[in-house]
Amino acid sequence: MLTAVAAQLVCVAALLGIAVLAVALSRAKAATALVYGATLIVCALALIGALRALLAGTGADEIVLPIGLPWLGAHFRLDALAAFFLAVVNLGGAIASLYALGYGRHEHAPQRVLPFFPAFLAGMNLVVLADDAFSYLLCWEFMSLASWALVMTHHREPGNARAGYVYLLMASFGTLALLLAFGLLAGPAGDYGFAAIRAMPHAPGEATMVLILMLLGAGSKAGLVPLHVWLPLAHPAAPSHVSALMSGVMTKVAVYGFIRVVFDLLGPPNWTASVLVLSLGGVTAVMGILYALLEKDLKRLLAYSTIENIGIIFVCLGLALAFQANNQTLAASLALTAALFHVFNHSLFKSLLFFGAGAVLVSTGARDMDKLGGLIHRMPVTSVVFLIGCVAIAALPPFNGFVSEWLMFQAVLLSPSLPQWGLKIMVPAIGALLALAAALAAACFVKAYGVSFLSRPRSEAAANAQEVDHFSLAAMVILASLCLFAGIFPGLVIDALSPVTQQILDSRLGAQSHLPWLSIIPIAERRGSYNGLLVLVFIAISASLGYLAIRRFSSHAVRRGPAWGCGFSDAVPQAQYSPDSFAQPLRRVFGTLLFAAREHVEMPPPGSVKPARFSVEIHDLVWETLYGRIAGAVDTASKRLDRWQLLTIRGYLSLVFATLVTLLLVLAIWS
């Protein structure tokens, strides 16, 4: 009988085997169905294994393979934290494979996707399983490169090559930061096993450095502002099922890395660390959703909204750090539970929404919302599940997104017990920022759904859209049902998360699933409780009561006619509210400052018959101030150095001579 961790490694090996098989088969017709079908089965098995390990709570399970560094070997370990993230990875992987069974048939060059898809999944599994710094970094790089190859699938489309380039740069930067972080963690002895790192005490200055490096390394992969710039370029460039994996799952692997190092390896934190994490998370949440609100490309909007959700998760982690630093472990486990619950939720609804965007892309050929509209009439199932995804991500009851935000606000409300003044003042302000982000998310998804699925079609393609295949629909329906399930039975999810908080913080929330009516009561009933199931039942009862009363007492007559619109009918669909015009009020409120947004109206002179023109100018200040300057400096430096490249032979010889003399001089002075 295999141990749990060995079983997971066998699954990983199977995934790698599928990747090799895909290379061999890539030109065969049945390759798409074969590869995705096999991936689906392997991921489902790995999911079952991970869930068993998580729920059984048997403790850590380790294995050492004789590969990797000769004196170290490759350590792998399956504990509760790893099991939870493996469950998230493999659930996402399994459903993405199911979706791709249908969606993948539309791929023009399947050989560009098929080998890398299972390899990418294998890489994510390995990162979560790794138990020494060397394997961790190696698997991290493997995951990055596999996802880079997937981003470059449609490399001839405009913008995708640039997206891949920026992604590669940022991924290398992130790995560099991780490398330095692990170098610090290993200490002068250079022991790279996680067990040894965990056992070692870490000096405060060193711990702070590691935290900052982790924020740079894991944060750049997760998309923390201002390291997010690659994310909205790269995630939408990949095929939609890969976008779903990158946004819904890979960012979570980065969150895993952060939790593993900061909570598990680094030992008890300092409260100042939490200030850093909290403020970065708050800024990320609000900026991410504001970017999303101004976006009119559906997939880029979803990618920006991922940044927002990562911000929410990091705020929860920051709260957990703050409570942990003050030994308030129950509050810390509440905050950590909120973070993990949101990790799970976001992997569900973000995958769902990316699948929906993929379905729209397949049936209309458009990602630009200016060319969509009226899909609710043409794609009945997709429109329902996409709506569920929108409601869930907008944190509205009774769906799952609300539960994790509710838990987070309950954790924020415990902040008065923190002794530090900085935190006392900061946490409510961060709470208000998160409320702002939640309200803006609702606005953003009203826009996304209202413009693409409701209203009148804005193009021929949208007017003739067709519902997508059954595999894609099945994947989306499963995710939508999971969103509802986690929303109305949150106690089950919280109980499943308690082994993780037990492992990391040595404290857990009270068991929830046996509470009457399946309520959730995180701390005490006096403080606050929530029951998603009853809320749903009440809404259903009141809506049916209203419906029955109306059927009984009111007129049933319905007449169809042209839209009223105060008697002012818009002749062309282009005159409807567009993504830009919908965002206009919020752009004027927030964008003037944060995006240097300006509106220009060009009125023709009196008597002229030329049309008036209206244009909006928006600046991505992060890109322009930070990255633009760095890129400019690199450019200037390389131009200067360019002169040394084309010298005469005499010039080269004198250069070599001068270098030699200088080096000898240095040596002479040194010794």
Partner 1 sequence: MVVISDILVQGIQMLLVFLLAPLLTGFIRKVKARLMRRKGPSILQPYRDLLRLLRKEVVLADNASWLFRATPYLTFAAIWVAAALVPTFATGLLFNWTADLIVIVALLGTARFFLALAGMDVGTAFGGLGSSREVMIAALAEPAMLLIVFCVALVAGSTQLSTVANFIASSQVGLRVSLGMAMIALVIVALAENARIPVDNPSTHLELTMVHEAMILEYSGRHLALIEFGAFLKLLLYISLIACLFFPWEIAVFGAGPLSYVIGAAMYLLKVTIAGFLLAVFETATAKMRVFRVPQFLGAALMLGLLGTLLLFVSKSL
CB of 512 to partner 1, least distance (A): 14
483 lies in the site for partner 1, by CB under 8 A: no
Among 120, 134, 349, 402, binds partner 1 (CB under 8 A): 402
Among 327, 555, 608, 615, binds partner 1 (CB under 8 A): 555
530 lies in the site for partner 1, by CB under 8 A: yes
Q: Is 217 exposed, middle or buried (0-12, 13-18, 19+ CB in 10 A)?
A: buried
- Which residue's entry shows tokens 């399930």? 485
How far is it, in rounded angstroms, from Cα 251 to Cα 661? Answer: 51
CB of 75 to partner 1, least distance (A): 43
Which x/- pattern, by CB under 8 A, does the window 337-376 give for partner 1?
A: ------------------------------------xx-x
What is the residue-wise DSSP string for 442-461? Answer: HHHHHHHHHHHTSS--SSHH
How far is it, in rounded angstroms, from Cα 522 to Cα 340? Answer: 14
520 lies in the site for partner 1, by CB under 8 A: no
Nearer to partner 1, 354 or 530 (CB): 530
CB of 378 to partner 1, least distance (A): 11
304 lies in the site for partner 1, by CB under 8 A: no
In a 3-state reduction of DSSP, which class is residue 90?
Answer: helix
Nearer to partner 1, 113 or 443 (CB): 443
How far is it, in rounded angstroms, from Cα 307 to Cα 255? Answer: 12
Among 406, 471, 489, 595, binds partner 1 (CB under 8 A): 406
How far is it, in rounded angstroms, from Cα 310 to Cα 565? Answer: 40
CB of 567 to partner 1, least distance (A): 10
456 lies in the site for partner 1, by CB under 8 A: yes
Among 198, 377, 470, 629, binds partner 1 (CB under 8 A): 377
**CA separation, residue 204 to residues 194, 269, 318, 450 (Å):** 19, 9, 17, 51
412-441 residues in contact with partner 1 (CB under 8 A) are 412-413, 416, 424-425, 428-429, 431-433, 435-436, 438-440
Token code pair at residue 290 = 């504001």
Among 33, 60, 461, 586, binds partner 1 (CB under 8 A): 586
618 lies in the site for partner 1, by CB under 8 A: no
CB of 487 to partner 1, least distance (A): 12
CB of 474 to partner 1, least distance (A): 22
Which x/- pattern, by CB under 8 A, does the window 157-196 give for partner 1?
A: ----------------------------------------
What is the radius of gyration, based on Cα positions, of the chain?
27
How far is it, in rounded angstroms, from Cα 589 to Cα 599? Answer: 13
Q: What is the number of other CB atoms lying within 10 angstroms of the CB of residue 224?
A: 26
Q: Which helix (H) or strand (E) holds 76?
A: strand 74-78
CA-closest candidate to residue 624, choices 590, 580, 594: 594
CA-closest candidate to residue 258, choices 210, 205, 202: 210
CB of 540 to partner 1, least distance (A): 8
632-671 residues in contact with partner 1 (CB under 8 A) are none
How far is it, in rounded angstroms, from Cα 391 to Cα 402? Answer: 9
CB of 268 to partner 1, least distance (A): 25
CA-closest candidate to residue 114, choices 19, 206, 256: 19
Among 455, 501, 503, 507, binds partner 1 (CB under 8 A): 455
CA-closest candidate to residue 373, choices 576, 544, 133, 175: 576
**Backbone φ and ψ of 107, nearest 5°:** -75, 130
550 lies in the site for partner 1, by CB under 8 A: yes
CB of 526 to partner 1, least distance (A): 5
With a CB cutoff of 8 Å and minimum separation 6, the contacts of 121 are 15, 39, 43, 89, 90, 93, 245
Among 162, 198, 470, 527, binds partner 1 (CB under 8 A): 527
461 lies in the site for partner 1, by CB under 8 A: no
CB of 475 to partner 1, least distance (A): 23
Which x/- pattern, by CB under 8 A, does the window 97-126 give for partner 1?
A: ------------------------------
Q: What is the number of other CB atoms lying within 10 angstroms of the CB of residue 342?
A: 26
566 lies in the site for partner 1, by CB under 8 A: yes
Nearer to partner 1, 118 or 373 (CB): 373
525 lies in the site for partner 1, by CB under 8 A: yes
How many residues line the site for partner 1 (CB under 8 A)?
A: 85
How far is it, in rounded angstroms, from Cα 167 to Cα 156? Answer: 16
Nearer to partner 1, 234 or 443 (CB): 443
How far is it, in rounded angstroms, from Cα 363 to Cα 338? Answer: 37
CB of 307 to partner 1, least distance (A): 18
Nearer to partner 1, 554 or 648 (CB): 554
What is the sign, positive or negative, of the torsion defined by CA atoms of 89, 241, 442, 541? negative
CB of 388 to partner 1, least distance (A): 12
CB of 521 to partner 1, least distance (A): 8
How far is it, in rounded angstroms, from Cα 563 to Cα 551? Answer: 25
What is the sign, positive or negative, of the torsion defined by CA atoms of 484, 486, 487, 491? positive
CB of 530 to partner 1, least distance (A): 6
Window of 115-123, 201-209, 326-334, 562-570 that interacts with partner 1 by CB under 8 A:
562-570
548 lies in the site for partner 1, by CB under 8 A: no
Nearer to partner 1, 64 or 435 (CB): 435
CB of 434 to partner 1, least distance (A): 8
CB of 601 to partner 1, least distance (A): 16
Nearer to partner 1, 134 or 304 (CB): 304
Among 529, 618, 621, 627, binds partner 1 (CB under 8 A): 529
| Encoded amino acid at 503, one letter | Q
531 lies in the site for partner 1, by CB under 8 A: yes
With a CB cutoff of 8 Å and minimum separation 6, the contacts of 303 are 231, 232, 235, 236, 243, 247
Window of 7-15, 101-109, 226-234, 537-545 that interacts with partner 1 by CB under 8 A:
537-545
Among 314, 341, 386, 582, binds partner 1 (CB under 8 A): 582
With a CB cutoff of 8 Å and minimum separation 6, the contacts of 100 are 32, 36, 117, 241, 471
HSE value, Cβ hemisphere, 13 Å, CA-based, for 258? 37
Nearer to partner 1, 559 or 650 (CB): 559
CB of 470 to partner 1, least distance (A): 22
589 lies in the site for partner 1, by CB under 8 A: yes
Nearer to partner 1, 179 or 381 (CB): 381
- 76-98 CB burial, b ≥16 within 10 A, e <16: bbbbbbbbbbbbbbbbbbbbbbb
What is the residue-wise DSSP string for 242-290? Answer: HHHHIIIIIHHHHHHHHIIIIIIIS-SPPHHHHHHHHHHHHHHHHHHHH
